[in-house]
Amino acid sequence: MSSISIATATEVFDLLRDDLAAVEREFAQQSVSGIEVVTEIAQYLISGGGKRIRPLLLLLSAKALDCQSPARIRLGAVVEMLHTATLVHDDIIDEASTRRGRPSSNATWGNSKCVLAGDWLYMQSFQTALAERNFRILDLLISLTQQMVEGELLQMEKLGRLINEEEYFDLIFRKTAFLFKVSMQLGAAVSEASPAIEEALGEYGRNLGLAFQIVDDVLDLTATENVLGKPVASDLREGKATLAVIHALERGTGADREAIRTVLADRAFKRVSHAEILAILNNHGSIAYAMDTAHAYAEAARQSIADLPDTDAKRALLWVPGFVTSRDR
């Protein structure tokens, strides 16, 4: 890798301020429906904020290739709409009551209206993308949707069951990392980049997405509810074994494994407490193992773009992995 410096958070924000504001306006505009309740739910979801990391990646991908096409703004809104739709459906499936420190949309409007609002956001995102008249864009978005749906179905089949690392990485690739990968590839697609460049940017997104989800899973186990904006240890209560838990299961004593199995089977901390599970994970270095793995994927993301020209956009892309692995929510 060249000796190019990594950008600061302030530099990244300054670089993308206008584009991100334009994406936000586009998202709000595309979320207006002739059916009032759809608009209400969509606007509620937009006002909930979020990191907007997926449109940020798309914008940086396009900017790294010196693309100024308005398509990058429209597609930035598309990936955020798709992400928002998945959050709506995830909250319904998980029976979540909060999201980002507020009542979840399904807790406010009910499951029936929200599943349809999520469907509407999916279709609206595709309608927006269709206006680009670019088959590569549609191919990427269709593959993305298939992978995310398959990932959700696979996860539902594995709830309450012990899985290995290979199964875990397959799940988080489908459910999270594929959207990061496609966000980067879409930036390349609107820039009419070569297949080799698109592949390199996609590999950056894949590695970054894996790091992002591993950190998310660690925070679910270790953060406080006030910081996280939702109940902690939700994954274990929903019967999901994440990387640190899988690591402890493979290295723990019989009693350790039985305690973890009990929580996964009960989907509650009735017979075994959250504190007991955390103690097991820490005793076996499982939290540290998961974070080390996240850092390794973050570094792999940086290496994936080593051959890109040295620009401010590349400096920003080098900053994102550190942001992903050091965040507290």
List, for residues 94-113, the tens digit of each pLDDT value. 888 888 889 999 999 999 99
Q: Please work out, in degrees rounded to the nearest 5, the angle formed at the alpha carbon of residue 54 by the alpha carbons of 50 and 56.
A: 90
User: Beta strand pairing status for 102-103 and 98-99?
Assistant: antiparallel
What residues have CB less than 8 Å from 185, skipping those under 6 apart?
61, 140, 198, 201, 202, 205
Tokens 């390199």 correspond to: 200
pLDDT, block means (10 residues), the chain with 329 residues: 84 97 96 94 88 96 97 97 93 88 93 95 96 96 96 94 96 97 98 97 98 97 85 91 97 96 94 96 98 98 97 98 94
- Structure-block tokens of residue 241: 């074994």
> What is the model's pLDDT at position 2?
56
**CA-CA distance, 244 to 166, in Å (whole number)?**
13
Task: Give the CA diameter of the chain.
Answer: 59
Reported as a single tens digit per residue, the pLDDT across 22-41 is 999 999 999 999 999 999 99
* Residue type at 137 in one-letter notation: I
Would you say 72 and 135 are in contact if contact means Cβ atoms under 8 Å apart? no
The answer regarding whether domain 9-326 maps to CATH 1.10.600.10 reads yes
Residue 103 pairs with which residues in a beta bridge?
98
Under DSSP, the state recorded for 131 is T
Other C-beta atoms within 10 Å of 226: how many?
9
